[in-house]
Amino acid sequence: MQNKQGAIRQDKRVATLTLDDGRSIELPILSGTLGQDVIDIHGMSKWGVFTYDPAFFSTASCTSEITFIDGDAGFLYYRGYPIEQLAEKSDFLEVCYLLLNGQLPDAEQKSNFVRKVTSHTMVHDQIVKFFSGFRRDAHPMAVMVGVVGALSAFYHDSLDINNPEHRNLAALRLLGKLPTIAAMAYKYHNGYPFMYPKYKLGYVENFIYMMFANPAEDYVQNPKLVRALERIFILHADHEQNASTSTVRLAGSSGANPFACISSGIAALWGPAHGGANEAALKMLETIGDVSKVPEFVQGVKDKKYRLMGFGHRVYKNMDPRASVMRDTCYEVLQELGLENDKLFKLAMELEQIALHDAYFIERKLYPNVDFYSGIVLRALGIPMNMFTVIFAVARTIGWISQWNEMMEGDDHKIGRPRQLYVGATRRDFVEMGKR
């Protein structure tokens, strides 16, 4: 029997929880189409108890049809399609269509989608003025949080979150404008003139053009490098209920508009434990500086002085499948650019080998994640370190908006409202100032 959210209720299967006062609570066990079963605790509060699961180690916060991860096996599927196949055979906008609509597009659906996204790549001229309010040395992620949130103020006539057409329009606008805003953040930081998007270019090509072209000369692109960035975009497009996606869903559950929700996702992504890890991983490699320093650095990790950035994952207890694709891309890009002997790449390979064979990392199932390699690729493409997380945000926007849309489409979504285990002072009376 399927419940309203699409999970399958196993008729005879329940988990029984016995409280220390002798009461016994029967909790339904639900199955999805793939992955672990879950115990449905959502009716438990009526028994006067809550569950306690800080950092959500054991909690599914929603049902979803979008992305599946098997962390033990190291699988990642978007709408059922393995990430490796999409990275090799598809392109970013096709993956966006898939994530948003649930199916791969046919030729006509694809060209319509590409045309619509492309037509939304320019930003309102007033948006340009927001940039000058920032200091030139502002981190581009700070600019992204502000400017993307500010988009909320531009589309009053199409912000009805209960209207599927308005939601679709918001998705197209966000998808179209994020690369433009990201490139503008880069240009502003460096004092270069903004470049308008070019409709004739592909999505990723256009982003590279807006980042690196200037009005004074022609700009020629290397298709192999475009393809490498396209792959980075595909690999980062969605990753089920991670911190930023859960933030977007939680913000959206209150009825906030999609631009505000995506801005909250960008803020959550910024941290070094999440999207900031690629920047942190590259900084770490630069700090180590030389292959000879790797053993000493690894000892410091084992002594818990610092973490090995780009390693470990809450869900993957095996190789991150995105990391395997990214490592291949890393080789390809460095070869294309004649940088096979790149010092940081060699250092990363040495670090990877030592960590993969060290008991500390093996016991804790710590493997390289996508960010261990993506920083090296982005750096080779000429993208500055402070733009790494911005690139992640541009790519993840489709995941956030698809997850938000899925939640809004559901007929019984409610405001997200976790409870707490209160450990503060018990009731006490106010003490007058003179008696404290």
Active site residue 124: no
Residue 327 interacts with ligand CMC (CB under 6 A)?
no
Active-site annotation holder among 139, 189, 313, 320: 313
Cα distances (angstroms) measured from residue 436 to each of 372, 428, 431: 53, 13, 6
Residue 263 · residue 177 · CB < 8 Å? no
Strand order in the sheet with 8-18: 8-18, 24-31, 38-39
The one-character DSSP state at 102 is S
Please report how close the Cβ of residue 309 comes to ligand CMC at its closest, in angstroms. 5
Residue from 186, 188, 233, 311 touching ligand CMC (CB under 6 A): that is 311
Active site residue 429: no
- DSSP-H helix ranges across 21-122: 83-89, 92-101, 107-119
Separation of alpha carbons 314 and 421, rounded Å: 23
* Residue 271 vs 416, nearer CB to ligand CMC: 271
Strand order in the sheet with 75-78: 67-70, 75-78, 81-82
- The residue range among 131-139, 221-229, 308-316, 405-413 that interacts with ligand CMC, by the rule CB under 6 A, is 308-316
Residue from 309, 383, 387, 398 touching ligand CMC (CB under 6 A): that is 309
* Residue 179 vs 265, nearer CB to ligand CMC: 265
Please report how close the Cβ of residue 311 comes to ligand CMC at its closest, in angstroms. 4
Active-site annotation holder among 274, 357, 358, 413: 274
Scan residues 202-241 and list those touching ligand CMC (CB under 6 A): 239
Residue from 139, 173, 187, 274 touching ligand CMC (CB under 6 A): that is 274
Please report how close the Cβ of residue 234 comes to ligand CMC at its closest, in angstroms. 15
Active-site annotation holder among 91, 238, 320, 371: 371
Residue 312 interacts with ligand CMC (CB under 6 A)?
yes
Sign of the Cα torsion 319, 321, 326, 328 reads: positive
Two structure tokens written together for 262: 């995506």
Residue 396 interacts with ligand CMC (CB under 6 A)?
no
Give me the residue whose beta carbon is nearest to ligand CMC: 312
Active site residue 371: yes
Separation of alpha carbons 162 and 164, rounded Å: 6
Separation of alpha carbons 368 and 323, rounded Å: 7
Judged by CB under 6 A, the number of residues near ligand CMC is: 20
Residue 13 interacts with ligand CMC (CB under 6 A)?
no
Terminal-residue alpha carbon distance, the chain: 61
Residue 28 interacts with ligand CMC (CB under 6 A)?
no
Separation of alpha carbons 58 and 63, rounded Å: 14
Residue from 307, 317, 346, 413 touching ligand CMC (CB under 6 A): that is 307
Q: What Rg value do the Cα atoms of the chain yield, rounded?
A: 24
Residue 99 · residue 237 · CB < 8 Å? yes
Tell me which residues are annotated as active site.
274, 313, 371
User: Given the rule CB under 6 A, which residues bind ligand CMC?
Assistant: 239, 242, 273-275, 277, 301, 307-314, 364, 366, 369-371
